[in-house]
A and B are shown apart, each in its own frame.
Chain A
């Protein structure tokens, strides 16, 4: 359900917060300083990071990402052409620049998410940024529930197909009919999970101990330095 996979690439070993802030800074730079040169630089760098991360992406996700970029390109090109009266060549060029921003966001995100476990991010947020651990952990516990809900939904749909039940009323009623059993099971499970978590001391104290608290290492400094260099070059390319 999450794009994260366990691996031993260089990016996997980096501090989650260093990756998060670096990726965010890079995304903003590419978004704000959106000249062709800057976007080309970020496309190349983010693609390099994705190659280093070696993510395990399903065909569906790859197709979805490509469709998002292509769709962005086409829609913007059409808007530039029909609304602003630009010739197709220029409209396509401008649409392409906007689509390139989307591609950069997707590539940086893939590099970050596929190499950062939800737990390590929660730990880093709490241990290093002093975010109350109850909040940071709740977010990843929610992620933990998603595969279970996906399995429930699959079972519900299978049971209906076997029964020959196609639902009643319009699309909204049919969707509601599908959601009722899904929510019923999810609520039961959430209540039990909440009790189980508190029974294991969750929230007993404002803070907690960490067996292996995250640290900023030399590798993190190198990574942050690389991203800083890309940002610096972006500024130079854009302004000079």
Chain B
């Protein structure tokens, strides 16, 4: 009997047209289906419908024949399906409920009324599987984001579900942690666990996927592999849907990109150290960034990257060392700071208002500010979003707007915190283009990221940070050759570059070609 069987499945949210239309899907024991598709295509809705969250928890409708792990999830509901089905979402912060690591893994087992004597054994086994057994007694808040996601996975796995539904589980975590998550999923698959995985970064899952499906306009197109799917739908369609199409399938193209010429230093940090609540976050960090240069600070979740950026932005005090931003100690207003969560910096309701706010703070009248803001949006082909509510944009759109809205401040230094956090390929490339544009206009851009793939697209200098220390400094090309540093900074390049670092230019030509 198939683990998942759906025929004529139509689903949507209350009072809205269907997101999924007449979907037919079958998944056997030990099979893994990789689910791709553009933002808003219904990938998450499909997973939530299979899990029973829609319509039991989220008001909506699910019509058609549906059988998951031997039951109809519409009847059972999400909570009762938990013994047979594990659902893992994007954001680890929103999935960890308890204060201690062991409590987090006990949580589903106690809810599902496992015998008390069995619970610690199952919890230990689940933590061992994700490599967190030693963290048993630790506070959940003391874990890095990557570790929290592995903990959420352990909590999902503890009841021993036969089916996993993973909704972009690596969107918030570094490549090394992402690999770890999929290593666990791969080992479970071998033991007969089935999985449906929504993941933009095809490379992580490709080797484990038995089938690949593309969901767009509410309809599902399945194939045996990404190559077969690309052959059937066209690489261009997958790329424009934001799928990180393996570069081997992309055609190299000559794309005109700005030539960066770094000049005098605008940011100088020497021996920067910081301790917060008895914990050393930074240990003698030295970095510089020059006018017309992109500097990428990379490292695993929890390495101290955001803390460093907040010091440079002038919003965090108590540090030791010497820091100069545009020739003076850091203070708010000296540099532009783009936050990790776009919502945090929004001050308006609409996209136009948000961009205009950066002119208003410079003394423009509202009318003049809105005219300038409209010009900025038109230049980037985003005029259609001008009147849209910020809070109804997709994550990719929010991120792009949060970056564009800060450009009119026109300060010499731009500090970007995880600018491609959770973004698909399409929006990552748009952000990368904005970053290069800033440097080409003579700005010093420092971006901190756990994403090893973004710096590959840029002509940038890289600082690798691990446990608050700079452990690598050099170009991206040098980093590709320095495999000793990879593990320390949680670095994992795209597979094409991992196999042959000499392919960097070829890789860029293929990716930038897809952005056209």
Contact of B156 among A199, A205, A208, A212 (CB under 8 A): A199
B65 in the interface (beta carbon within 8 A): no
- Collect the chain A residues with CB atoms within 8 Å of residue B112's CB: 201, 204-205, 208
A164 CB to closest chain B CB (Å) equals: 4
B254 CB to closest chain A CB (Å) equals: 38
Beyond contacts A192-B89, A201-B80: 17 other A-B pairs, Cβ-Cβ < 8 A, are A158-B313, A162-B313, A163-B345, A163-B406, A165-B357, A195-B53, A198-B78, A199-B53, A199-B82, A200-B107, A201-B112, A201-B159, A204-B111, A209-B110, A209-B114, A209-B119, A212-B116
A130 in the interface (beta carbon within 8 A): no
B39 CB to closest chain A CB (Å) equals: 15
A83 in the interface (beta carbon within 8 A): no
| With A199-B156, A211-B119, A211-B120: A164-B99 Cβ-Cβ less than 8 Å | no
* Complex CA–CA separation, A135 to B386 (angstroms): 43
| With A161-B332, A204-B82, A211-B106: A198-B53 Cβ-Cβ less than 8 Å | yes
B57 CB to closest chain A CB (Å) equals: 6
A189 pairs with B94, CB closer than 8 A: yes
- Collect the chain B residues with CB atoms within 8 Å of residue A159's CB: 337, 339, 344-345
Interface string of A187-222 (1 = CB under 8 A from B): 011011111111111111101111111000000000
- Collect the chain B residues with CB atoms within 8 Å of residue A209's CB: 109-110, 113-116, 119
A162 pairs with B51, CB closer than 8 A: no
Interface string of B299-325 (1 = CB under 8 A from A): 000000000001001110000000000
A152 CB to closest chain B CB (Å) equals: 7
- Collect the chain A residues with CB atoms within 8 Å of residue B113's CB: 205, 207-209
A185 pairs with B82, CB closer than 8 A: no
User: Which B residues lie at the A interface, using CB under 8 A?
Assistant: 48, 51, 53, 57-58, 77-80, 82-83, 85-87, 89-91, 93-95, 97-99, 103, 106-116, 119-120, 141, 152, 155-156, 159, 310, 313-315, 332-333, 335-337, 339-341, 343-347, 349, 357-358, 361, 391, 406, 409
Residue of A nearest to B83 (CB): A201
Contact of B82 among A118, A147, A201, A211 (CB under 8 A): A201
- Collect the chain B residues with CB atoms within 8 Å of residue A147's CB: 141
* Complex CA–CA separation, A180 to B353 (angstroms): 14
- Collect the chain A residues with CB atoms within 8 Å of residue B91's CB: 189, 192
Contact of B345 among A118, A119, A156, A213 (CB under 8 A): A156
Contact of B110 among A181, A185, A196, A211 (CB under 8 A): A211
B346 pairs with A195, CB closer than 8 A: no
A160 pairs with B336, CB closer than 8 A: no
Could you tell me which residues of chain A, from 47 to 93, have a CB within 8 Å of some CB in chain B?
none
- Collect the chain B residues with CB atoms within 8 Å of residue A118's CB: 99
B93 pairs with A208, CB closer than 8 A: no
- Collect the chain B residues with CB atoms within 8 Å of residue A192's CB: 89-91, 94-95
A177 in the interface (beta carbon within 8 A): yes
* Complex CA–CA separation, A203 to B337 (angstroms): 42
Residue of A nearest to B104 (CB): A200
Q: List 28 A-B contacts (CB under 8 A).
A: A119-B99, A119-B103, A155-B340, A162-B315, A162-B335, A162-B337, A163-B337, A163-B409, A164-B333, A191-B58, A192-B89, A192-B90, A192-B94, A193-B94, A193-B97, A195-B57, A196-B87, A199-B87, A200-B111, A201-B111, A203-B79, A203-B111, A204-B112, A205-B112, A205-B113, A207-B113, A209-B109, A213-B116
- Collect the chain A residues with CB atoms within 8 Å of residue B335's CB: 162
Contact of B314 among A162, A177, A193, A208 (CB under 8 A): A162
